[in-house]
Amino acid sequence: MTQPHPDTERRLGRYSTTAIVVANMIGAGIFTTSGIMAGQLPASGWVLLCWILGGMIALAGALCYAELATRMPEVGGEYLYLKTLFHPALGWLSGWTSFFVGFSAPIAASAIGFAAYLLAGLLNLVPAWQFLNSAWVQPAMATIIIAIFTAIHYVGLKVGAAVQNVLTIIKILIVLGLSVLGWIGSSMHPITFSTVTTPATGTLLGFGTAMMLVMFSFSGWNASSYIAGEVKNPRKNLPFSLIAGTLVVMLLYLMVNIFIFQSAPYEVLQGKIAVAETALQHSVGPVITKWLSVLVSLALLSSLSAFILIGPRVYYAMAKDRLFFAYAAQIHSKYKVPSRSILIQGLAAIVMVHLGTFEQLLIYIGFALGIFPWLAILGLFKARKMGIGDETAVKTLGFPYTPLFYLFASLTLLIVAFINRPLESSAALITITLGLVFYYFWQRKTRAT
């Protein structure tokens, strides 16, 4: 049985917890990846199929995590599950990976995306502000926004959750508004399943790459499990947040993609990163489209905020187990949050603002983040056998078929991704492997004290 960390308080209710799941999932991915996927696949129907399949995998994962989170309703997510069910080294590796790949890198990506969209919007609205094209403006703006939201979440969970709830509502309204507005002005291009392929598209490897981009966009379906120790009535609220949050995002993603591919010719959308903007230009014209970048930038703030909220809870749990910097375990006496973990993460994200390229970063993140949920869901079978948390567990719907579907689908995608994108996949594996060196270092340090 896992031991709770009593320093944290259960303050998050059902809505706040669900909002965190939704906010973590809806980020840069939905606004950028469909055009890249279109460059890999021969027709729009295949792209839509990828989104449907990705949603089914994410929902299967959420159903499994509903049981894991209620069996072990404390902060930490995969770190907690893997150290309990397998070995502390696996828990450490998941936390190590979360620090770099799961939270710091997505915070940096969201901040860069926010800055890029906002600057594009401002230049559309005020063309005379050409100084915004200066190379230093975008990273400076990204750095400032990370610092602002780090400060917001530093001053307490109540303030941070309130800001998160408001931003999530704004994000949902923006996504719904774009979809409805796009459908109204849509030229109704048909969604098709062409079997004609080109050398660059239509292959199994292309489908695998497209699915990795989809899984990056769905990453975050497990978000509330990381803060389970701060959720009121976890037996009811954790499963609701995981399942309801994933279903809401599935619906929104399908709405946005149907709008995109009905609004513009497929060949125009192929390879576009700002794919939603291209679709709006074809459906409602340039006047409304000028405001799109500003709206998308606001939507990205919700994801950035959610990552900053959740990540430090993992490092806090690791530090409590003496497997991370000791000062990361400090809970602020006034604000009751892992304050130093929040600051560490903010600093790491700011450094990452200046590293990486967009598509490579997405594949790198998607591959690395697929490994540890896979291991955690494999551990669900062991958790049942060991009887961990039987008294509080909410059983997985469709067990054992639900976890078996997730395990098979995710492993297949990881293998295909490695074959197709070995550079990014190897970088993810190297990042994880380096964690073993630091685990050995912390183990020696712990034994010496």
In the chain (449 residues long), the average pLDDT of successive 10-residue segments reads 51 83 79 82 87 95 93 84 91 83 81 82 82 85 93 83 82 77 62 54 68 85 83 88 93 86 83 75 69 77 83 78 75 78 89 72 78 94 93 91 96 86 86 85 71
pLDDT for 174:
80
pLDDT for 226:
80
Cβ burial, residue 410 (10 Å; 0-12/13-18/19+): buried
pLDDT for 200:
46
Q: Please, are residues 394 and 235 in contact by the beta-carbon 8 Å criterion?
A: yes
- What single letter denotes the amino acid at residue 96? W
If one counts every other C-beta atom within 10 angstroms of the C-beta of residue 156, the result is 17
What values do phi and psi take at 227, rounded to 5? -115, 25
Q: Locate 397 and state its tokens.
A: 């719907």
What values do phi and psi take at 12, rounded to 5? -85, 125
pLDDT for 289:
65
- What single letter denotes the amino acid at residue 218? F
- In the block, tokens 């890029």 appear at 116
Q: Locate 378 and state its tokens.
A: 């494999």
d(CA 3, CA 251): 37
* Among 281, 347, 329, 377, CA closest to 77: 377
For the chain, the straight-line distance linking the first and the last C-alpha, in angstroms and rounded, comes to 26
- Per-residue 3-state assignment (H helix, E strand, C coil) for the chain: CCCCCCCCCCCECHHHHHHHHHHHHCCHHHHHHHHHHHCCCCCHHHHHHHHHHHHHHHHHHHHHHHHHHHHCCCECCHHHHHHHHCCHHHHHHHHHHHHHHHHHHHHHHHHHHHHHHHHHHHHHHCCCCHHHHCCCHHHHHHHHHHHHHHHHHHCCHHHHHHHHHHHHHHHHHHHHHHHHHHHHHCCCCCCCCCCCCCCCCCCHHHHHHHHHHHHHHHCCCCHHHHEHHHECCHHHHHHHHHHHHHHHHHHHHHHHHHHHHHHCCHHHHCCCCCHHHHHHHHHCCHHHHCCHHHHHHHHHHHHHHHHHHHHHHHHHHHHHCCCCCHHHHCCCCCCCCCHHHHHHHHHHHHHHCCCCCHHHHHHHHHHHHHHHHHHHHHHHHHHHHHCCCCCCCCCCCCCCHHHHHHHHHHHHHHHHHHHHCHHHHHHHHHHHHHHHHHHHHHHHHHHHC
pTM: 0.78
pLDDT for 386:
93
Cβ partners under 8 Å of residue 13, min gap 6: 231, 232, 237
* Among 304, 315, 12, 337, CA closest to 156: 337
**CATH top-level class for 14-448?**
mainly alpha
Q: How many residues does the chain have?
A: 449
pLDDT for 285:
66
